[in-house]
Structure 1
Amino acid sequence: MIKNRHSSFVFPNRLSLALVLTLAFTLLFPLASANAAGTASSFPFEEITLDELQAGYKNGDYTTEQVVQAYLDRIGTYESNYNAFTTMNSKALEEARDIDRRRAAGETLGSLAGVPIVIKEAVDMAGFPSTMGWAPLSKEKGGIELIPEKDAPVVARLKAAGAIIIGRTNIPAFSSSGTSASTSWDGDTYNAVDRKLVPGGSSSGTATAVSGNFAMLGIAEETGGSIQNPAAAQNLVGIKPTFGLVPNAGVVPLGGSTRDVIGTHARTVRDAALMLNVIAGYTHEDPKTVASIGNIPEDGYTYKLNNEELQGKRIGLYGPGWRDQSLTPETEALYDRAIEELKAQGATVVTNPFAGTDFAATVKSAANGIDSVYYDMEDYLKRLGPNAAIHSVEELIEKTGETPSVFDRYKGKLPDPDSQPDLSAFIDTRTQLLQIIDDVMDKYDLDAFVYPQMFKETPLLSSKDNIGATTVSEINLAGVPLVTVPAGYYKSGAPFELAFTGKMWSEADLLGMAYDYEQATKYRKAPVLVKKP
């Protein structure tokens, strides 16, 4: 079932759909083909949307097998230079053929039937290794192999919707970097926009796969920036949902009880919203998702996607009341342009609405909520199943001979697994931050806050500098949602993105406003990938 990324790809020996469509395009439009030959990919599904893909299936323009094969061909061409994947799904084509058979038989298919997607390696897939990005758990590096016996709930939901999982994507060890995958046993993932830039973390491989057109959609996960940072670094739409909206059972934890969320990476707002429709909602496997009941739109997360959603909206702008961190001059210029674009769509802006509040000071002195990591890891390891190689943190340390750095906070004295974490300080922090956010939005009658996601451009991978996010600690401590959307480029070519955020459970509102902005500006450009020399 499992085929490692480092194994050679094996594809059917036949004329691929990519070649067929490329030849047809060349014959019909020879001048356009000649002009594009040196600068653009011949990949026939580049930047395709979910609606376009499903229309093609309905019209019989291609089969799921042909689509999946084309993606695998593209991965085979470029993956060695980008390292997005740790493990490939060797049954992807078989699963694609099954979708084609069911479609031909007239069966009712799920909303993501035949859609190629990727899953962050921190999210369990039955029968596929969970390395946590850590060398001692990588069989390839001589470590112990952990094989989950059942899917995480989000994976089960995606499979039920008919999605074709292409593979699992690279992460830093224990998802503990918001900037890169440099600590991964599998080495760095490279940014699809520009290999010289950091890819963002910890959902590094997912962002590269989706931005680089290795898949249409991806599952990302965040404790402290791991959805929004790679989305912003790689010119993507990312949804960091309200804590408790999407189940995170079966996901390697950092703050599983307090902060961890599962979200989406996509190239368009609508595609991201359609994926959120599938993964959101209550499951008994994750009791905290009971909070989502009554907070999911009856018509799903696409019902506010229109070109007038910003009309009449009141938007709070970034300022020192939120965080005392200045923007670089170029970031400020790009943000100023974006503000004018928001106003052109009918929005009214409010400068520095958090002025005079204790918001920034509360964030600086906050309890981070990661003190639950030991207990969350115990729960995660137990869920792997009775036949797994490791069942507890004690076994993890004993069998690997190493204590993971995520437990450094306990200063050498690990908690009693039968005890309970004291999260009272974190609960106080979240309560204070949510109250301030609600008060500010009510005081100024705000519909959302729209900030530059970074205060500076994406760093070079070689610099060892960290991403300069403006929204990571604040958003994750409060547990509120955030949507990133492309908003231009720096002179260097690094992406510039906006972050739309607001009250808990406001995903549909944020997506509506982000969609209006996206459609009015359309800044995303497909990256031009480079083959390994």
Structure 2
Amino acid sequence: MNAPASPKSAAEIDVTELTIGEIQQGFADGLYTSEALTRAHLARIDRYEPFYNAFTFMNPSALADARAIDARRAAGEALGPLAGVPVVVKEAMDFVGLPSTGGWAPLSSVAGGIDLMPERDAPVVARLRASGAVILGKTNIPAFSHDGARANTSWDGPTFNAVDRAVAPGASSSGTATAISGSFAVVGLAEETGGSIQNPAAAQSLVSVKPTFALVPNAGVTPLAGSTRDVVGPHARTVTDAALLLDVLAGYTVEDPKTVACIGKIPAGGFTSRLATDALKGKRIGLYGTGWRRQPLSDEAAALYADACAELADRGAILVDDPFSGSGFADLAVWKSGGFDERGLETIAYDMALYLKRLGPSAAAHTLAELTTLTGEDPFAPGGILAMHAAMPVLAASLADPSTIPDVGPFLAVREAYLKIVNSVMSSHALDALAFPQSSATPPGIFDEAPYPATTVSEINIAGLPGVTVPAGRFADGAPFSLIFVGAMWSEAELLAYAYDYEQATQHRIVPTLVETPFQTALREMAEESA
């Protein structure tokens, strides 16, 4: 009989690209302790965080939490797949013991503002704790998550893309994407109103799940459209890890009554149960075209997409060209600044009022009026970070009395219109899913003004449909290229299966090489090289 392995020290553990399965095997074989694994990740963060700025706050209890999991494992307790695994959560999510800043400077004492301290974890954070995951910290976002490309408006400064610091990291879940792509943690929580899960995942060569609206609770998360569009989902480096994290996050909670809709919708055996390397064989997959959106692909994006389509065909998928042609789908969009359809944000004042109340009696503010008084700033006032939405008639009325339930009838009408067409097209063409290029062109630069060129934002956000991103190549400038699989409501398990088949066959994930050069120095060197 072989002697038990001696646990590795933190210095001996290479955390780069570690998967949940590898970690759990390491625990089973006695190669890892959760404490050593956590220390190894913290050492990597200490080394590279100054050059990437993924985090807003670190969890001071992370090592104690890891030791507690080690003790439970040593006692022979049955533990789940996330037990002892280092993870991160997005700044917008309430985490007891750390401030909830929403990325907005007036809500950060570090930036001269006030701190809002929640009395309860957001349900998704509580579920991570209950799973035994070791939460390393909270990750950076733009102010009020109000940017789909970069986190430059954060009180904590910009977050940089782990794959290439000159490329926008994607947003608003910028810090989570950088932390996972850069192997600062194994998996992380992202959140989306209009691209904030899928954009940063695609920009940093990650797998992500933008879930069906109401599959995962979003109570305790700083809202933009908590009652209509906001969703919480995974960032991971592999499809399997994304599915394992979704298993922890999904499901009903009384803390978020809308999640009653997901009862009976979670697959038996969980979201990993349908992963297979022949999942695409014989499946009918709809392709991107002007019937979905009139926005053309750049020549380079079109070439990369053609390559990806060939890879899908090689897996046995039956490709259906532009199934939305003539459906009227593209006519439903109403684009605003930055190519964003804002419908659904009518509820932000009402949702913010609910969010502030949920913080608890000891919090510094419980209403929008108190928040404005305490901070001396109104985010909806002219020049404010959310001012562009204040002119929406329903929101304007809601701002006058945020406690009154806003009229979401017009939003529901457009959601129903989107779903009617999607369901009709998928039925008439017998489609199993859609597979689109997640971006129509290479992502913009970290300090550019250009928005992120997504193809499914805000269509799937308004409709409430799920989407799974998976790496699919690389632009000539080095930025990642990704596919997004989109399907009917509650089809996450199938989408993950298609993404898994594609991932296993192509292995397009880009493993970043992190650097320790101050970013301004790197910019100067790049300018000198191009001169």
1:445 and 2:415 correspond: no
1:304 matches 2:274: yes
1:369 to 344, 347, 355: 344
Q: Distance in 2 between matches of 1:437 and 1:451?
A: 15
Are 1:221 and 1:263, in contact at CA under 8 Å, matched by a contact in 2? yes
| Aligned counterparts of 1:183 and 1:19: Cα–Cα separation in 2 | 36
2:155 is matched with which residue: 185, 199, 205?
Answer: 185
Pair 1:367–1:179, CA change in 2 (3 A): closer
Task: Measure the CA separation in 1 of the matches of 2:512 and 2:121.
Answer: 32
Distance 2:388 2:167 in 1: 29
Q: Structure 2 vs 1, CA of residues 418 and 64 (structure 1 numbering), >3 Å: closer, same or farther?
A: closer
Residue 299 of structure 1: how far off its partner (Å) = 1.1
Q: Distance in 1 between matches of 2:494 and 2:261?
A: 18
C-alpha distance in structure 1 between counterparts of 2:41 and 2:308, whole Å = 34
Q: CA deviation at 1:493?
A: 1.1
Q: 1:63 maps to what in 2?
A: 33
Which residue does the alignment assign to 1:258?
A: 228
Match of 2:240 in 1: 270
Please, which of 495, 499, 509 is the counterpart of residue 494 of structure 2?
509
CA–CA distance in structure 1, aligned partners of residues 85 and 306 of structure 2: 37
> What's the counterpart of residue 379 of structure 1?
354
* Structure 1 residues 483-529: Cα deviation after superposition (integer angstroms, max 9, x where no partner): 00000111111100000001000000000000000000001121000
1:111 aligns to 2:96 (yes or no): no
> 2:529 is matched with which residue?
none
Structure 2 residue identity aligned to 1:435: K
Contact 1:85 1:168 in 2 (8 A): yes
User: Which amino acid in 1 is paired with 2:419?
Assistant: L
SS in 1 for 2:461: helix
What residue is the counterpart of 1:388 in the other structure?
363
1:459 aligns with 2:444: yes
Which of the numbers 33, 47, 53 marks the counterpart of 2:23?
53
The answer as to whether partners of 2:353 and 2:403 remain within 8 angstroms in 1 is no
Q: 1:104 to 1:112 in 2, by over 3 A?
A: same
Distance across 1 between alignment mates of 2:44 and 2:465: 37
Instruction: Classify the secondary structure of the residue corresponding to 2:57.
Output: strand
Greater Cα offset, 404-413 or 79-88: 404-413
In structure 2, C-alpha distance between the alignment counterparts of 1:367 and 1:424, rounded to whole Å: 15
Q: Is the 8 A contact 1:16 1:70 kept in 2?
A: no
Please name the residue that 1:410 is paired with.
390
Q: Deviations over 1:159-198 (max 9, x none)?
A: 1100000000000000000100011000100000000000
Other-structure match for 1:519 = 504
State whether structure 2 residue 104 is matched by structure 1 residue 134. yes
Indicate the residue corresponding to 1:497 in structure 2.
482
Residues 339 and 225 of structure 1: CA distance in aligned 2, closer, same or farther (over 3 Å) = same
**What code does the residue aligned with 1:489 have?**
R
Match of 1:3 in 2: none
- In 1: Cα distance, 2:86 partner to 2:111 partner: 29
* Structure 1 counterpart of 2:173: 203
2:366 counterpart letter in structure 1: H
Query: How much does 1:16 deviate?
Result: 8.5
CA distance in 1 between counterparts of 2:442 and 2:57 reads 31
Deviations 1:348-403 (A, max 9, x none): 00001000111111123777110100000000000000000000001011111111
SS of the counterpart of 1:462?
A: coil
Contact 2:57 2:138 in 1 (8 A): yes
Q: How does 1:1-16 map to 2 (within 5 A)?
A: none
Q: Matched residues in 1 for 2:81 and 2:186: separation?
A: 14
Task: Provide the secondary structure at the position in 1 that maps to 2:473.
Answer: strand
CA offsets, 1:116-135, max 9 Å, x none?
A: 00000000011210011011
Alignment match, 2:323: 353
1:430 paired residue number: 415
Look up the SS of the partner of 1:461 in the other structure: coil
Task: Quote the Cα distance in structure 2 between the aligned partners of 1:319 and 1:424.
Answer: 30
1:24 aligned partner: none
Q: 1:311: Cα distance to partner?
A: 0.3
Where 2:208 maps in the other structure, the secondary structure is strand
Structure 2, unmatched stretches of 5+, are 1-6, 336-340, 380-384, 519-531
Match of 2:114 among 120, 123, 144: 144
Match of 1:5 in 2: none
Q: Is the 8 A contact 1:452 1:499 kept in 2?
A: yes
CA offset digits 1:206-251 (Å, max 9, x no partner): 0000000000000000000000000000000010000000000000
- Among 493, 514, 518, the residue aligned to 1:529: 514
Q: Does 1:72 align with 2:29?
A: no
Answering whether residue 220 of structure 2 is matched by residue 240 of structure 1, we say no
Aligned to 1:20: 12
Could you tell me how far apart the structure 2 residues matched to 1:427 and 1:59 are?
Answer: 52
| 1:505 maps to amino acid | W
- Displacement of 1:458 in angstroms is 1.2
Kept in 1: contact 2:24–2:81 (CA 8 A): no
The Cα shift of 1:256 comes to 0.3
Q: Distance in 2 between matches of 1:131 and 1:50?
A: 30
Structure 1 residue 407 displacement after superposition: 5.4
Conservation of the 8 A alpha-carbon contact between 1:367 and 1:425: no
SS at match of 2:141: coil
Q: CA deviation at 1:408?
A: 5.0
Q: Which residue identity is paired with 2:413?
A: D
Matched, 1:317 2:287: yes
Alpha-carbon distance between aligned partners in 2 of 1:370 and 1:409, rounded to the nearest angstrom: 8
The equivalent residue for 2:373 is 398
Q: Is the 8 A contact 1:80 1:532 kept in 2?
A: no
CA distances 1:123-163 after superposition (whole Å, capped 9, x unpaired): 00112100110111101111111000010101111111000
Q: Please state if 1:102 is matched with 2:72.
A: yes
Gaps of 5+ in 1: 1-14, 22-43
Secondary structure of the structure 1 residue equivalent to 2:36: helix
Shift of 1:475: 0.7
Considering only aligned residues, what root-mean-square deviation do their CA atoms show, in Å? 1.4
Q: Using structure 2 for the length normalisation, give the TM-score.
A: 0.92
Which of 395, 406, 412 is residue 421 of structure 1 equivalent to? Answer: 406
Q: Residue 483 of structure 1 aligns to a residue in which SS? A: strand
Deviations 1:260-304 (A, max 9, x none): 000000000000000000010000000000000011101110111
Aligned partner of residue 286 in structure 2, secondary structure: strand
Contact residue 8 and residue 32 of structure 2 kept, 8 A: no
Match of 2:164 in 1: 194
C-alpha displacement of 1:48: 1.1
| 1-structure distance, mates of 2:37, 2:11 | 12
| Counterpart-to-counterpart distance in 1, 2:133 and 2:29 | 19
By how many angstroms is 1:417 displaced? 2.9
Q: Supply the AA of the counterpart residue of 2:166.
A: K
| Residue 63 (structure 2) pairs with residue 93 (structure 1) | yes
The superposition leaves residues 284-337 of structure 1 with CA deviations (integer Å, 9 ceiling, x where unpaired) of 000000000011101110111010000000000000000001111111110000
